[in-house]
């Protein structure tokens, strides 16, 4: 008697479980090339592809992009990318051997922007703390109550 469960109960191999992630990485690499080198629209010059997430059926791709510039420039870049999505899809179809080229959905990636804001705030707080500490040390030394040196 076999120790394995019937074939209807077997899990698919790990390769198929990870296929959307592998395809997403290949799609990301291609889109980086297409956006960076093939699109002639000046509105997409400051665009950086940060992530691609594929639907489980591989028919939809959410492409996360970070755009440098003002809010107006960011909006214009996203419009340009959305207008270029059919072209990007055709180029993906030609470059990757997928049964169906995924529909491309460009999405603004705000994670990096938020992280940059948090870093800036932390740096400002650190600078403020250093100034306050320096002022306290200066005041204490003027009064002759300087803390012992370490």
Give the domain ranges of the chain: 12-109, 111-142
Q: Which residues contact 125 (CB under 8 A, 6 or more apart)?
A: none
The string of pLDDT tens digits covering residues 82-128 is 999 999 999 999 998 888 899 999 999 988 778 888 888 899 888 88
pTM to 2 decimals? 0.66
Q: Given this structure, which CATH class describes domain 12-109?
A: alpha beta
Alpha-carbon span 84 to 49, nearest angstrom: 14
Ramachandran class of 54: left when φ > 0, alpha when ψ lies in -120 to 50, beta otherwise: beta
The string of pLDDT tens digits covering residues 2-36 is 555 555 555 555 444 478 899 999 999 999 999 99
Specify burial of residue 95 (Cβ count, 10 A radius: 0-12, 13-18, 19+).
middle
């Amino acid at each position: 008697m076999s120790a394995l469960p019937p074939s209807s109960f077997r899990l698919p191999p790990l390769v198929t479980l990870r296929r959307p992630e592998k395809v997403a990485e290949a799609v990301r690499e291609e889109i980086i090339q297409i956006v960076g080198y093939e699109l002639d629209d000046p509105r997409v010059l400051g665009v950086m592809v940060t992530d691609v997430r594929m639907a489980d059926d591989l028919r939809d791709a959410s492409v996360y992009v970070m755009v440098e510039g003002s809010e107006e420039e960011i909006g214009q870049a996203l419009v340009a990318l959305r207008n270029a999505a059919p072209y990007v899809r055709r180029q993906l179809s030609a470059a990757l051997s997928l049964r169906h080229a995924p529909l491309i959905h460009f999405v603004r990636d705000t994670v990096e922007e938020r992280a940059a804001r948090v870093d800036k705030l932390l740096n400002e707080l650190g600078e403020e703390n250093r100034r306050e500490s320096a002022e306290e040390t200066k005041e204490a030394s003027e009064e002759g109550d300087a803390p012992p040196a370490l």
